[in-house]
Amino acid sequence: MTYVEPKPIQTGIPSLKDEVPFTMGSAFTRPETLGVHGELLAKHFNGVTPGNELKWDATEPREGEFTFTDGDHLVNFATEHGMTVRGHTLAWHSQTPDWVFENATKEVLLQRLERHVRTLVTRYKGRIAAWDVVNEVVDENQPDGLRRSKWYEIAGLDFIRTAFRVAREADPDAKLFINDYNTEFPRKREALYKLVERLKAEGVPIDGVGHQLHLNIEQPPASAVEATIERFAALGLDQQVTELDVSIYTDFVSSYDTIPPELLVQQGHRYKELFDVFRRQAGSLSSVTVWGESDDVSWLRSWPIPRLNAPLLFDDDLQAKPAYWGVVDPSRLEPFVRELEAPAAAVKVDGRRDLEWDLLPDAPLARVGDVSAGFQARSSAAGLYVLAEVTDPAVSAGDRVTFTVDGRTRALGRNSPACAAPPPATGSRPCSAAARTSRSRCTTAARAPPGRARSPPSPPSSAPPPRAARPPSWTAPWTGCGRAFPSCAPAPGSRASRAPPPRSAPSGRARPCTSWPRSPTPR
């Protein structure tokens, strides 16, 4: 065995907590208060959530036997470092010992709950600023939207009412939250909304809604997160992001031996989009917590299966990832490259969206609020066709899409003569290229085999790109904007895919578009 000295943390980079207009939190556990992990927490975070130490199995493993050694240690660490603490969690169906439900009538269960909640909240009165009073109580697939947990089966909604009432009595200054995952999906969002609305109307002392936000590299879009925050803002409650992480997998079975660097760049852009939303919604959000300060401590290393995952802002050596720069300074991110193969097809280029393009969904590049961008490609003997579609309702003179093909760049603006399609009545034109999306370009990037399109391309480099095997020739039409780009060799392909599959992933990635036709029939 050899002892490897841990890499020191980077002290010369901005502290996350100074860069955001809300409390920046991290989950942590006892070992992470030591050494470089403790230093990283102290530098970047002004909020913390004990990841396991305040859960029922940790605090009251046997009836009436309370243990607070680890909980106290973590709360003391936070106090010493001037961090606010989120208490997680008082009533949950998971990590709760069996004895809690054994021989429990409704009355007995509520007594057990009352003692547990009162003991914990009283112990940390004035030191824990916010409690996840109940966790994951919603099930949008039930007619009443409530999870059929033992809590619910024995006590109905009264376990929620009791937990909130007792928590309020024990520490009237603590902010009381209802916390859940998948709240960014419309059905779950609405089920939670209805529940909170109902409880509020009854006078249950709920102060806020916690959105866990366990997301993945593809889904759901940041716009769905924003829609959720806006929806709950209508209730006039505080909101917090409580357990943010961005898995690099979109399914429960794939696994990488090594993580492709481009995936980490993609993740950086994803974090950027999410933090764009959080900053815009800062009036409704009092804190954003990531579920762990660095990849090496993430729960996603063991759930849902043991695998290499890297969902957080700092890597295994506690060094800043692209994800960190996505939050702090997105201009330092490499461009987001999305690769797709170009099925064989000839497309009519007349300024309108040829029906051919409707055979596949556009590969999305970005979607923030009302602004979205996507692209597709087709190849034929005549060249490579590219559809680039940007929707941006805010018209501005600088809107344009830029294509770079073999180092030659051409920009098409809203009023470019090539944009033949009339704008829709709404004023939002798919043939727009907002300045914000100026990274949207089409190219046969040097690394891409002929017939593949990558968007946006690698940034122009001073070295000339390697030549394609055949003399290049491109035709790049796009909705409303037809333009031929004579360059780049097309190689008619037949498969469509939105991104390279994980190199070691046996069964591919559960993408929303796995049902795409693998070989669309050219018309």
Residues interacting with ligand XIL, by CB under 6 A? 51-52, 135, 212, 243, 299
The position carrying tokens 């596949």 is 360
**Which tokens in the block code for residue 486?**
């004579």
User: Are 134 and 91 within 8 A, CB to CB?
Assistant: yes
Nearest to 278 by CA among 325, 305, 244: 244
Pull the structure tokens for residue 33.
């208060």
Active-site annotation holder among 136, 273, 339, 389: 136
CB 327 within 8 A of CB 16: yes
Residues contacting 147, CB < 8 A, separation 6+: 93, 136, 137, 138, 139
* Least CB distance to ligand XIL at residue 189 (A): 17
User: With respect to ligand XIL, which residue has the nearer C-beta, 311 or 450?
Assistant: 311
Min CB(96)–ligand XIL separation in Å: 11
Q: Which of 32, 243, 293, 341 is catalytic?
A: 243
Q: What's the DSSP call for residue 196?
A: H
In three-state secondary structure terms, 374 is: strand
The nearest distance, CB 299 to ligand XIL, in angstroms, is: 4
In the complex, minimum distance from the CB of residue 511 to ligand XIL, in angstroms, rounded to a whole number:
23
Active site residue 136: yes
Nearer to ligand XIL, 212 or 239 (CB): 212
Amino acid at 140: E
Return the number of the residue (10 or 52) whose C-beta is nearest ligand XIL.
52
CA 389 and chain centroid, separation: 23
Distance, in Å, from the CA atom of 298 to the CA atom of 292, rounded to the nearest integer, reads 6
- State which residue, 245 or 339, has the beta carbon closest to ligand XIL: 245
Q: How far is the CB of 52 from ligand XIL (least distance, A)?
A: 5
Q: Least distance (Å) from ligand XIL to the CB of residue 307?
A: 15
CA distance 410 to 403: 5
* Closest residue to ligand XIL in the complex (CB): 299
Write out the H or E segment, with its range, that includes residue 270: helix 261-280
| Nearer to ligand XIL among residue 185 and residue 299 (C-beta) | 299
How many angstroms separate the Cα of 360 from the Cα of each of 220, 251, 364, 444, 474?
19, 22, 12, 20, 20
Structural tokens at position 185: 């999906």
Q: Tell me whether residue 52 or residue 380 sits nearer to ligand XIL (CB atom).
A: 52
Nearer to ligand XIL among residue 212 and residue 404 (C-beta): 212
Q: In angstroms, what is the minimal distance from the CB of 76 to ligand XIL? A: 21
- Measured from the CB atom, the residue of 275 and 291 that comes closer to ligand XIL is 291
- Pairwise CA distance, residues 301 & 423, whole Å: 48
Residue 350 CB neighbour total at 10 angstroms: 12
SS3 76: helix
Q: What is the DSSP string of 488-519?
A: S----B----SSPPPTT-TT----TTTTS-SS
Smallest gap, in angstroms, from Cβ of residue 277 to ligand XIL? 21
Tokens of 284: 């409704």
Which positions are annotated as active-site residues? 136, 243
